[in-house]
Chains A and B, each alone.
Chain A
Amino acid sequence: MNIQKILLRFGPKAENLLAALREIQKENGYIGEKESKQVAEYFGISEAQAYSAASFYDLLETGKPVKKIIRVCSGGVCVSERSLEIIRQVERMLHIELDNDAHPKYKLETMSCVGRCDRGPVMEIDGKIFEGVRVEMVGEILKDYI
């Protein structure tokens, strides 16, 4: 992926940095040290600043994702709609544990509110959001990704 090409779409001003990082994330999949260096050169900032910004945000990755990340919302409203039972169901079906890194292919995490509390519980796999998830639906949802 040509990072330089992506960068040229943005003026090298501080206020465009986050937008550029988002775009690199989208097309390259992550912003590692190599990418940070190019970003820093283009924006005329230190590598540390570019990398520290990239490493701060939930939607930006600093390494190539190697596992499928399954996220379930643990906000209060989703919990009142039984999202913790969905977590248990995913744990049972994939033989993994919440927040545990041991499995080579999958990782289960909780996520913060995505602002869809009117359609909870919410889960996310590979950036795709599922709304109104019921325990019985988990198997069907996972089938397409496993």
Chain B
Amino acid sequence: MKIITRHWGKINPLKIDSYIRQRGYEALQKAVREMDPKSVIDEVKKSGLRGRGGAGFPTGEKWEIAAREKSPEKYFICNLDESEPGTYKDRLIAEKNPHQVIEGLLIGAYAVGAKKAYIYINGRYAEQAEVLQIALDQAREKEFVGSGILGSAADVEISIHQGAGAYICGEETALLNSIEGKRGEPRLKPLFPPVSGLFGKPTIVNNAETLANLPYIIRHGAQNYAEIGSKTSPGTKLFLLHGAVKNPGFFEAPLGIGLRELIFAKEYGGGMKSGKEFWFAQAGGASGRLVPSGKLDQVLTYDNCEYPLGSGSVLVVDKTEDIKDYLFSWADFFHRESCGKCVPCREGTYRLWEIAKRIRNGDIRERDRENVEDILWTLGNTTFCPLGKFASVAWSDAMKMFPDKIFK
């Protein structure tokens, strides 16, 4: 079952007609001509679609909150600021089939009544931004974008907003600040963006992969979509496999697939590289938990609170590797990307990074071990936004799973 990748390689991403020949933009026509905004939202609610950015919030319910707001000005934002280590799914979506995201974005904006939409793209994705701009210009020519979409009363203007290198801008409120020309620091919640977001107006921020599901849902109906994948997390998901597997790369699989199947099945990872023995997997990029071999029967859904699937990236680590290298990698990333707004995160990630370097160099001090526990607790419980918590996740797991390999 393919939804996201269904047209990849078959269509020319630079030509809108090639997407239209695959019945592209039919869902948009159906939405604006045959459905009112409320029935679009109802359809998405019934489909059970959940946000693909990692948190898995039900998309239809998010839309409903913004749709209820009486503000004449609303915004809709496609979050393409992907920068989680090990994650490049949104980059693929943008370069292989940009129109699918644009169509999803238009449907969403129509449903909540937003006249202005943005695609916030990672500042390092210059080529993808260009592909999207070309796609956007073509869609405007066809009257899919702009005022009076396809002769209806709906107006949606879209512009592309390039970031400038900041992981935290993927957090929705930091992203809003960034569009407003401020430092990309997160805001206090509540109020949540669907009530008060960009320039204080109701705003929906949806991940690019979430939006890419919408054309399918509107065209084939919520019932059809809800039957794919797991009951509480329907649909398919792009998974990225890395590390010591035979076939690393991207795979579209139904949600609810087991981690073991993803790594070992022939059509996905194909098992371990020859001569390599499984040690642990990390699901969800640098923010993800470590999964030992005994827990591989975990299914990947948004309900799985023990091992969240996050962005859908899975790194498989074999027994020849050194955990100290990874401790450094995680700490290095989060200390660099901490925005500096709150003290526990700014200081905690920095000290953890210093300790990670000492652990690698083998000059670990007695008090470091105690401090690590302290720092991890502080990061996990007291930071302003989830970045600090994410910084503690893999470290905490590693401390529990392999203390002897870290402090010896």
Q: Give the interface of A toward B (CB within 8 A).
A: 14-19, 21-22, 25, 43, 45, 49, 52-53, 56-60, 74-77, 79-80, 84, 110, 112-118
When chains A and B are docked, how far (Å) is the Cα of A16 from the Cα of B250? 35
Interface 9-mer from B77-85, B293-301, B362-370: B77-85
When chains A and B are docked, how far (Å) is the Cα of A32 from the Cα of B329? 31
Q: Verify if B52 is at the interface (C-beta below 8 Å from A).
A: no
Q: Verify if B179 is at the interface (C-beta below 8 Å from A).
A: yes
Closest chain B residue to A16, Cβ basis: B181
Max chain B CB contacts within 10 Å: which of A49, A59, A75? A75
Max chain B CB contacts within 10 Å: which of A22, A75, A76? A76
Q: Do A53 and B181 touch across chains, with their CB atoms under 8 A apart?
A: yes
Q: Do B242 and A80 touch across chains, with their CB atoms under 8 A apart?
A: yes
Known: A58-B166, A110-B336; 17 extra A-B contacts, CB below 8 A, are A14-B181, A14-B199, A18-B178, A18-B179, A57-B163, A75-B286, A76-B285, A77-B315, A84-B328, A112-B85, A112-B165, A112-B333, A115-B82, A115-B83, A117-B86, A117-B87, A117-B240
Size bracket, chain B contacts: 35 or more
Q: Do B91 and A115 touch across chains, with their CB atoms under 8 A apart?
A: yes
Given contacts A22-B123, A74-B329, A80-B243, contact A57 B285 (CB under 8 A): no
When chains A and B are docked, how far (Å) is the Cα of A57 from the Cα of B122? 12
Q: Do B179 and A112 touch across chains, with their CB atoms under 8 A apart?
A: no
Residues on B with C-beta less than 8 A from A58 are 123, 164-166
Residues on A with C-beta less than 8 A from B321 are 80
Contact residues of B between 270 and 325, Cβ < 8 Å to A: 282, 285-286, 313, 315, 317, 321, 325
When chains A and B are docked, how far (Å) is the Cα of A14 from the Cα of B199? 10
Shortest C-beta distance, B253 to chain A (Å), equals 17
